[in-house]
Amino acid sequence: MLLGQLGATIIKVEDTERGDYSRQTTQNVFKLLNRGKKSVAINLKNDAGREVFYKLIKNSDVVLEGFRPGIAERLGVDYATLTKINPRIVYCSISGYGQSGEYREQAGHDLNYVAMSGLLSPELSESNPGVLPVPLADTGGALVALVGILAKLLDGSGGYIDVSLAEASLFFNLSNFARLLEDGKIIQDQVRARSKLRLNGFNPSYNIYKCSNGYITIAASEARFWKKTCEALGRPDLEDKQSDGLAAENLRKLFSGMTTEMAADILLRYDVPVFPVRSLDEVLLDKTLSQRGFDLEDGSTSPFLIDNLRPASNGPVPNHGEHTKEILIELGTQMIR
C-alpha cells in the first residue's frame, strides 16, 4: 500500500480460484490496503501460469511474498529462480518466524508473534496478559519490509530480504529488554524487581490514569517534566518520588475526581506531556488529521507527508483478476484458460 502511494505500480498476483482470502473474511481491511493495485489471477502451479509470472518479473523491480518458508521454492517462484531471470530484482519474503530456525514452518498469527517477542509478558503490565488491540506484528513487519525494500532499491543491485513478523515485534520491545540488562549481563533479581516497578504501570510519571469520564496518559519521564506535573497538581511533596509506586496511587486518587478535559487543561498549562485516551470515533473526528490530509475514505492514510502532501492511492480496489487481460496483452501473452 505504501509503495503504491509513493508512486509504484503494484500488481497483486492472486490464484485463479478465490483469490486473496481477505476479500471474503475482512472486506473493509482488504479495501483499505488494496486501493490502486492491479489484480492478476494466474495459476502458479502449472507451467503456463509460471511463464506469465516470469514475464512479469523481467520488467519488475520488487517481488513481495508471504508464503510459509519453502512454498515459493516448490512453486518455482523463489529468489534463486527469479534472480536468474532478473538479476536486479529485490525479493522480500515475509513470514511468521523467518526463513530459518526451529519455528520457521510453524503456523502463527499476530498474537503468537507478539507473545514470542515478550510483549505480552506479565511484568510489563499490572494485569494478566491481554490481546493487543492492534496487529502490531503484522503492521510492524510490513514497515520493516518497506524499509528493507527501499534500501535495496537505493542500492540498485537487487537482493533478498527475509522479514520475520516475530522479530519485528521484538524490535518494538527492545527498550524493555534494555532495562533488564546491565553491563551486558542480565541484572540481579533485586534490581530486576525494581525494574518491574518501572515497567508495569506503577511508574507514576509514565502511566495511564482513570478520570471520572475516561482515561488520560502522562509521559513525564524526564525529571523536569515530573517536577512540572507535581507543580500542576499541587503536590510538590511527590517530586522526589518519581519511581515510587505510592506516588502513582496518590495521582490515581487525584485524577479520579477530574474529567479528562479538566486534567489535560491543568497539565498542559505546565507543558506536561499529556493526552487523553481516545476512542476510535474520537480519532476520526479529529480535525487536525483531516487538515493534514489524512482521509480513510480516499485512501490517504500514509504515515508521512511528502512535499507537504499525503500520498493517496491512485485508484479503486481491484476486483479479483480484473487486470489479468490487460497485463497479459502488455506482456504479449494470450489468455490462459
pLDDT category of residue 186 using cuts at 50, 70 and 90: low
Instruction: Give dist(CA 223, CA 29) in Å, integer.
Output: 42
The SS3 assignment for 160 reads strand
Average pLDDT on 72-89 reads 97
pLDDT in tens, 208-239: 899 999 998 898 888 999 999 999 999 999 99
Query: Among 105, 42, 25, which Cα is nearest to 335's?
Result: 42
pLDDT of residue 128: 67
Contacts with 209 (C-beta within 8 Å, 6 or more apart), sequence order? 215, 216, 217, 218, 251, 252, 255, 263
Q: Which amino acid is at 96?
A: G
Average pLDDT on 203-209 reads 87
Average pLDDT on 191-217 reads 70
pLDDT at residue 200 above 50? no
Terminal alpha carbon distance of the chain: 30
pLDDT category of residue 304 using cuts at 50, 70 and 90: low
Contacts with 241 (C-beta within 8 Å, 6 or more apart), sequence order? 204, 247
Q: Out of 97-111, 151-165, 186-200, give the one with best mean pLDDT.
A: 151-165
All structural domains of the chain: 2-174+303-331 (3.40.50.10540), 201-277 (3.30.1540.10)
User: What's the CA angle centered on 188, arms 183 and 193, to 5 degrees?
Assistant: 120
Q: Determine which of 85-99, 187-201, 239-253 has the lowest per-residue pLDDT on average.
A: 187-201
pLDDT of residue 196: 46
282 phi and psi angles, rounded to 5 deg:
-65, -35
Q: Determine which of 40-54, 108-122, 140-154 has the lowest per-residue pLDDT on average.
A: 108-122
Question: Higher confidence at residue 131 or residue 318?
Answer: 318
Instruction: Give dist(CA 43, CA 27) in Å, integer.
Output: 23
Q: For the beta carbon of residue 311, count every other beta carbon within 10 angstroms.
A: 21
Query: Among 49, 52, 58, 47, which Cα is nearest to 82's?
Result: 58
pLDDT at residue 38 above 50? yes
